[in-house]
Amino acid sequence: MLLAVGPVPSLPANTAMVGGAEAALAPLTNQPVSLALTTPDILPALINLIRTNHLTTPVAVIGPAQPATGAKAIRMGAVEYLTEPVDSRLLTALIAKHVSAPSSGPIGQDPRTLHLLEQAKQFAASQATVLLRGESGSGKEVFARYVHQQSPRAGKPFIAVNCAAIPENLLESELFGHSKGAFSGALAERKGKFQQASGGTLLLDEISEMDLSLQAKLLRAIQERVVDPIGADKPVPVDIRLIATTNRQLENYVAEGKFREDLYFRLSVVTLDLPPLRERPGDILPLARHFIAAHAAANGYKAAPSLTPEAEAKLTSCYWKGNVRELENTLHRALLLTGPSGATITPDHLILSPMSLMHMNTASNNENARASITPASSSIAAAARAYGNAGNEDAPTTFIPKRLAEVERDTLVATLAYTQGNRQYAADLLGISLTILAEKLSAAGLAA
């Protein structure tokens, strides 16, 4: 749901509107608002309202072309500042980033994907909890929506919560809600995501990042089908189908004491393993054509450009470290480079991420090394020499060894430069959570 707070210009037709910050409290606490749009003068009161009520709704501002005003809005907590007159393409992209559009289901023709879809359809008819495992960006939420769409709950809400993106001290209120007066600034009762999803499906994304203390409360909610809002006198019954996703090996987390064993078994009644995009190459071109058409329409292009055979070959040979999300961003960027009048997308338009390029180069070097190693040179030293010399006559003089920490720091810098500072996108490309990325940046001295 998109919510406009105050006299916000250039709004889409389906936007809910309220007159000011105080009037925004009811929809913000009782409905799944994905993005709030407001003006510079209302922003301070709206940000204060969101923080004092332990809400996590992102806020974007539309205002005059004044750099100082925009900078102040970002410092206060706005996720974006759009200047008037608003560029419709920028507004569309902003809304698309935060407001999930209904999906017709996963797109793909690879045999592994088709088999997984058949499994998902069979399990959807039950009420069993589903655990979706796969790398970041591989499409776990899309598959979760597919399970919901194929289930008897299809006409009811589908609510998604990213456990890694919400601060630990806010996640309990986000999930279970709170009563009026439960803490300082709790001016109204707030329904949590469990109650908002009543009758439908609740998706807990990146559940491995949830704190142990909150895992115990989640286990009770799953077992007893009740939630305990913060400050409430009695539990509230809920009727939901739960789907959880992770990009971690939860079995290892259980062994390390980072994840409750009883919760793990409750979540993994049905487990679906989603392969990374590089292991289902039959999906790459169907997805590519879908993304080109979707972004061409969103940007007002009269026609979607086609891929040249060379561009198709480049797409299918890429490692896609960031999986489907990286593929989509690559094609969106390529579409913008071709321009509204561009008829084709060529390999030059396809700018790959540093991580995917690094993996492609490493894979190529490994292939060359394996080809050059003979049975007579099977020792570690011989293999190392073969790797160093593979396809590179100058390797002994050009190779400069680096400490692993230096390589990781360089990768972090290159990835953040590629994402223009967007940490969530950088975490997705690196295959780690936002929390882990923050820890690595801090360790590398890049936290500022």
Give the residue extent of every domain in the chain: 2-98, 111-275, 278-352, 402-448
Q: Mean pLDDT over all residues of the chain?
A: 83
pLDDT digits (tens, 9 = 90+) for 184-200: 777 778 889 999 999 99
Residue 63 main-chain phi, psi, to 5 deg: -155, -170
Q: Is the pLDDT of residue 93 over 90?
A: no
Beta bridge partners of 133: 246, 273
With cut-offs at 50, 70 and 90, classify the pLDDT of residue 402: low
Q: Does the pLDDT at position 218 exceed 80?
A: yes
Which pLDDT score is estimated for 410?
81
Q: Name residue 186's amino acid.
A: A
Rg (the chain; Cα; Å) = 24
Q: How far is CA 109 from CA 119, 135, 271, in A?
A: 15, 19, 22
Determine whether 167 is exposed, middle or buried from the number of CB atoms within 10 Å of its CB (0-12, 13-18, 19+). Answer: exposed
Whether 223 shows a pLDDT value over 50: the answer reads yes
Mean pLDDT score, 111-140: 94
In this predicted structure, the answer to whether residue 136 has a pLDDT above a threshold of 50 is yes
In this prediction, residues 14-21 reach a mean pLDDT of 85
Is residue 424 predicted with pLDDT exceeding 90? no
pLDDT of residue 309: 94
Distance CA 223, CA 294 (A): 41
Higher pLDDT, 11 or 6: 6
According to the model, what pLDDT value does residue 253 have?
A: 95
pLDDT given for residue 88 in this prediction = 75
Mean pLDDT of 116-134: 94
Inter-residue contact 326 to 364 (CB < 8 Å): no
d(CA 200, CA 219): 19
Q: 358: pLDDT confidence band, cut at 50, 70 and 90?
A: low
Q: What pLDDT score does 422 carry?
A: 73
pLDDT of 362: 52
Lowest mean pLDDT, pick from 16-30, 130-144, 160-174, 347-361: 347-361
So what CATH class is 278-352?
A: mainly alpha
Q: Given pLDDT bands bounded at 50, 70 and 90, which one contains residue 396?
A: very low
The predicted structure's pLDDT at residue 373 = 36
**Rounded Cα gap, residues 191 and 31, in angstroms:** 8
CA distance 33 to 31: 6
Measured CA to CA, the distance from residue 193 to residue 238 in angstroms comes to 10
Assess whether pLDDT exceeds 60 at residue 2. yes
Q: For residue 107, is pLDDT > 60?
A: yes
- Min mean pLDDT across 6-15, 36-45, 288-297, 420-429 is at 420-429
Measured CA angle at 199 (ends 102, 220), to 5 deg: 115
Q: What DSSP character marks residue 20? A: S
pLDDT of 153 higher than 90: yes
Judged by average pLDDT, the poorest of 59-63, 169-173, 305-309, 401-405 is 401-405
Q: What pLDDT was estimated at residue 166?
A: 87
Q: Which amino acid is at 268?
A: S
3-class secondary-structure state, position 389: helix
Predicted local distance difference test score (pLDDT) of residue 129? 95
Average pLDDT of the segment spanning 37-51: 90
For position 6, what pLDDT does the model report? 87
In this prediction, residue 28 carries a pLDDT of: 82
For 310-348, how does the pLDDT look when each residue is reduced to its tens digit (9 = 90+)?
999 999 999 898 899 899 989 988 988 888 888 899 999
Q: Do domains 2-98 and 111-275 have the same CATH topology?
A: yes
CATH fold for the domain made of 402-448: Arc Repressor Mutant, subunit A (1.10.10)
Has residue 8 got a pLDDT over 90? no
Is CATH 1.10.1060.10 the right assignment for the domain spanning 2-98? Answer: no
**Phi, psi (rounded to 5 degrees) for 82:** -105, 135
What percentage of the chain reaches a pLDDT higher than 90? 42
**What pLDDT shows up at residue 390?**
43
Q: In whole angstroms, what is the distance from residue 416 CA to residue 434 CA? A: 13
**Fold of the domain built from segment(s) 111-275:** Rossmann fold (3.40.50)
pLDDT band at 141 (very low <50, low <70, confident <90, very high): very high
Whole-number percent of the chain with pLDDT over 70: 85
Asked if 290 and 107 count as a contact pair (C-beta separation under 8 A), the reply is yes
Question: For the residues 394-410, what does the mean pLDDT come to?
Answer: 63
